[in-house]
Amino acid sequence: MQAEIITIGDEILIGQIVDSNSAFIAKELNKIGVSVYQITSVQDDRDHILDALEVASKRSSVVIITGGLGPTKDDVTKHTLCDFFGDELVQDEKVLNHIEELFKKYISTPISDLNRQQALVPTKAKVLHNAFGTAPGLWMKKGNTAFVSLPGVPYEMKNLMTRSVLPKIVEEYERPYILHKTIMTYGLGESAIANKIEDWENNLPSFIKFAYLPNLGRVRLRLSARGTDRGFLMAAISYEVKKLYPIIGDIIVGEEEDESIEYQIGKLLTKKHLTLATAESFTGGKIAEHITSIAGASNYFKGSVVSYATEMKVKLLNVPEELIQKHSVVSEEVAMAMAKNVKSIMDTDFAIATTGNAGPSKGDSDADVGTVYIAISTPEHTFAQQFNMGNLRERVVEKSVNKAFELLWKEILKF
């Protein structure tokens, strides 16, 4: 069972928007046992679209198309589908009524003929109801291949995928099981981990594939298995994961797919009825952003002070000026004061603080670019560690965010 994804839109090819739709579709297809063979992006151009459809039809059972369904002249997907299928467009009364109802309830501008033309659909298409927009989804078949055309607006596409497309694929196709288990590790690089687990990796069963997914300061280890017996696959993966713990258990922070370390921290804090605050300088609120991206963060996260300028560390976080003058704003002492004080100000159990020089210039400190201090304040003690994260600004910030979560995770585990 193999699928392809075709994204249509000049805005993707010129880098104006990021193609997040394909990532979502691929992940959801994989969950139901459908492998994505290829992802292709093409212009809003009839010939390019036709070429992509023709090639995809020869090698995939399902082709998911996103984009190009808008009401303006540059959106040509529906007309091109008619050319590909030898079809024509007709008005669908249910779609038209839905469009008019949307304009009546939610849209202040008057409905136009262009908007009404969204109700034109190919006669051979099964129309998929788009509850959140005017462009319906379309399901068409040619030979043994199903072609599914979806709007490019992410929330419209996601709703159609989960409510219409995925259930229909499950109903119409027999699929193998594709199971993944992702182990999240912090504190060791990819090559260091590979050296430690070489024997384990070399002895994996042939039906289990293994991959390293490195990021700045963390490495995810993914085991994947495909087959017809779900129970057997689950047991085999679980058995191999258990064998990992005696080897690298000290750096493993979680096992569940898509559960980041900030998610794991949130679960721990909630379970233990503990709270957290952050005081950030060079990370500019990135740590708080990661924390608040998790649903339910309000149960344990009280807030953050982004004291980017030195004087804000004094005014908002009560860091003594003489401490800064004596040790520099980028120092262990200042990082610890930031963590202690934000914990006190927000009355939390834990706090993270960051101060450092992300570059490109040195700013208010003589510390070398890449020098950072990360402090953790717990119910029992406060400490800070110095790191050198390199000389690329984005890398310094991202590595520091990951390292801060790693340090916090290890401290929470002690309580």
Given this model, what pLDDT does residue 114 score? Answer: 87
CA neighbours within 13 Å on the CB side: how many for 17?
Answer: 15
Contacts with 51 (C-beta within 8 Å, 6 or more apart), sequence order: 42
Contacts with 411 (C-beta within 8 Å, 6 or more apart), sequence order: 350, 376, 378
Indicate the residue type of 94. Answer: K
Given this model, what pLDDT does residue 377 score? Answer: 97
Contact call for residues 269 and 242 (beta carbons, < 8 A): no
Query: pLDDT above 90 covers what percent of the chain?
Result: 69
Contact call for residues 400 and 283 (beta carbons, < 8 A): yes
Mean pLDDT of the chain: 91
Task: Say which DSSP state 164 is in.
Answer: I
Q: How far apart are CA 211 and CA 186, in angstroms?
A: 16
Token pair of 31 as six digits: 């969950």
Given this model, what pLDDT does residue 253 score? Answer: 81
Domains belonging to the chain, first-starting first, are 2-172 (3.40.980.10), 177-254 (3.30.70.2860), 261-412 (3.90.950.20)
Q: Kindly report, residue by residue over 338-363, the tens digit of the pLDDT.
A: 999 999 999 999 999 999 998 777 66
Q: Kindly report, residue by residue over 386-409, the tens digit of the pLDDT.
A: 999 888 888 899 999 999 998 999
Give me the long-range contacts of 52-59 (CB less than 8 A, separation at least 24). 52/6, 53/6, 53/80, 53/81, 53/84, 53/147, 54/84, 56/4, 56/6, 56/145, 57/142, 57/143, 57/145, 57/147, 59/2, 59/4
Given this model, what pLDDT does residue 371 score? Answer: 93
Contact call for residues 276 and 270 (beta carbons, < 8 A): no
Q: Is the pLDDT of residue 258 over 60?
A: no
Q: Please tell me the pTM assigned to this model.
A: 0.64
